[in-house]
Amino acid sequence: MSEITAVGKPVAARLAVAALFLINGASFASVVPRYPDLKEALALSNAALGTAIAAFPLGALLAGLLAGPILARWRSAAVAVWCSVLQASALVTIGLAGQWWQLAAALFVAGALDSVVDVAMNAHGMRVQRRYGRSIVNSFHGLWSVGAIVGGLAGSLAAGVALPLPLHLGMAAVVLAAAAIACGRFLLPGHDNAEREEGRTPRVRPRPALLFALLAVGVLCAAGVLVEDTAASWGAVYLRDSLGAAPALAGMVFVALQAAQTVGRLSGDRIVNRFGYRAVARTGGVLVVVAVGAALLWPSIPTTVIGFAVAGWGIATIIPAGFHAADELPGLPSGAGLAVVGWVYRLGTLAVPPIVGLLADAVSLRLGLVVVPIAGVAIVLLAARLPGK
């Protein structure tokens, strides 16, 4: 009997990891609806607010590669819990920011912590998945989406009743930090390689083929994130300025994609367990190409909303699959593959929005959105890097 089978399925650890994903999704989403209040309170221009917000992904990008060494030193359980507590605490500093540089610094720190938490909770989720002997990681990412929705709704409610920023974000920080600490007692003990049947993975210098495999998986994840981020960054602008949608309908591209992605993640484990990561990813890439490609060929509000909804379902399992593939690569310390892949796809989130904007200014936003079907093609091609059934 293998060690994994003998240990059994730790249900409590699975629930704790799921809760950490939900907490992470809710943390930053709590701030997003209060951006107009921050802008007004600090008397910021649009450009100043946008630059401050950009500090979040910048912090995540710069800190992303540190996650591997941090996990090697303190292990995924402790890092996931205590960095989640620190990330929740960063909400307090955001709410108390009195100047532009303070807001930018707080967002930079929050982004840096987010990148470390992302790797740590995914690494621990992979430990739990190995004990189960089947895919469960998609459900974790589904709970992240639920957390983002909960945090966004709570932030919107706080803004609607004009709750002072320090009070709102302070209350959110206390609740989220307490929940993260409560999760700690249910996570798996021991080293992060304890569930690997072959024992601890040796610490070796990555070979060129191994590095290429990591980069390929990172680009695959970046392609999936590109679809999501393009809907968030440009969906409302495209509906209003290019298709003449009413303001109340402008956000429907992002809402439709997020809703479909959440459904896809919550149901994704059953589909992946039946057909395998590779086949599901290829099918998802095809859906992105066909659905968004058709919406751009025959532009209208309904085809655009439906097209991006189908694309959201198509990319639902891409990042969980990429993290699984990176975590299973031999010859790397625990968390190192996840850190590299996370860094690569975060780099893509910084690079793509300006590219779309340049194409939109030079020709049209409709042409700029062609990057989404191109990302679908990349997913189809790079899916070969994922494990089969």
Would you give per-residue pLDDT tens digits along the chain (389 residues)?
333 333 456 899 999 999 999 999 999 888 877 887 888 899 888 778 878 887 888 898 888 878 888 888 888 999 999 999 999 999 999 999 999 999 999 999 999 999 999 989 998 998 898 888 888 888 898 898 888 888 888 888 888 888 999 999 999 999 999 999 999 999 998 877 766 654 444 555 557 778 888 899 999 999 998 898 888 767 777 887 788 887 667 678 877 888 899 899 889 889 998 999 999 999 999 999 999 999 999 999 999 999 999 999 999 999 989 988 888 787 776 677 888 888 888 887 777 777 777 787 888 888 889 999 999 999 999 999 898 76
**208-385 shares the fold of 3-184:** yes
Please give the single-letter amino acid code of residue 213. A
Locus of tokens 């058709």: 294
Do residues 335 and 123 lie in contact, with contact meaning Cβ atoms separated by under 8 Å? Answer: yes
Tell me which DSSP letter residue 242 carries. I
Phi, psi of 177 (to 5 degrees): -65, -45
Do residues 200 and 233 lie in contact, with contact meaning Cβ atoms separated by under 8 Å? Answer: no
d(CA 49, CA 35): 8
d(CA 314, CA 361): 29
* 208-385, CATH topology level: Growth Hormone; Chain: A; (1.20.1250)
Angle between helices 208-237 and 301-314 (to 10 degrees): 150
Burial class of residue 247 in the structure, from the number of CB atoms within 10 Å of its CB (0-12 exposed, 13-18 middle, 19+ buried): exposed
pTM, two decimal places:
0.77
Look at residues 64, 353, 377 and name the one whose alpha carbon lies nearest to residue 220: 377
d(CA 72, CA 371): 37
Which numeric CATH code is attached to 3-184?
1.20.1250.20
Within the chain, residue ranges assigned H as helices are: 3-7, 11-29, 35-41, 46-63, 67-74, 76-96, 100-132, 137-160, 165-184, 208-237, 252-275, 277-297, 301-314, 318-327, 336-362, 365-368, 371-382
SS3 label, residue 235: helix
Token pair of 286 as six digits: 């095809």
Q: What is the residue extent of each domain of the chain? A: 3-184, 208-385
